[in-house]
Structure 1
Amino acid sequence: MTVFNEEPKCSICKKEIEGNEVVFIKMRYPKRKGFTEVKAYLKNEGQFICEACFEKDKS
């Protein structure tokens, strides 16, 4: 889980995720409908994986 007001980081290499960067997010599909705060939900419930770490894991 991410600390409030902290920028998200890759859960593998700990690199800070920057705006407009391609990321992969590991998370459970939400039960509720109608989310308006998508970025906040992803930061609280997801594990971010940067593209470089995701590509390494695939090979």
Structure 2
Amino acid sequence: MFGENPKCGKCGKEIKGDEVVLVKMRYPKRKGMTEIKTYKKNEGSFICEACFDKKI
């Protein structure tokens, strides 16, 4: 788990660095500082740009 790149929630494609993605997630309830990369990985679902552009 640690160190693995995230994958697209629709097609399973591995997300590479500097790639355009969309993240579906809930806005955090707590106020204050949050390590955003870890929060997105734990609480978000990544969607690659190709899957987002599909009209299915």
Could you report, residue by residue, the CA deviation over 1:14-59 in whole angstroms, capped at 9, with x for unpaired residues? 1111111110011111011223411111000000000000000x46
Gaps of 5+ in 1: none
Amino acid at match of 1:45: E
Task: Identify which of 19, 22, 47 aligns with 2:20.
Answer: 22
Which runs of structure 1 show a deviation greater than 4 angstroms over 4 or more consecutive aligned residues? none
Cα RMSD for the two superposed structures: 1.5
The correspondence of residues 5-44 of structure 1 with structure 2, limited to 5 A, is: 5-44=3-42
With normalisation by structure 2, the TM-score equals 0.85
Gaps of 5+ in 2: none
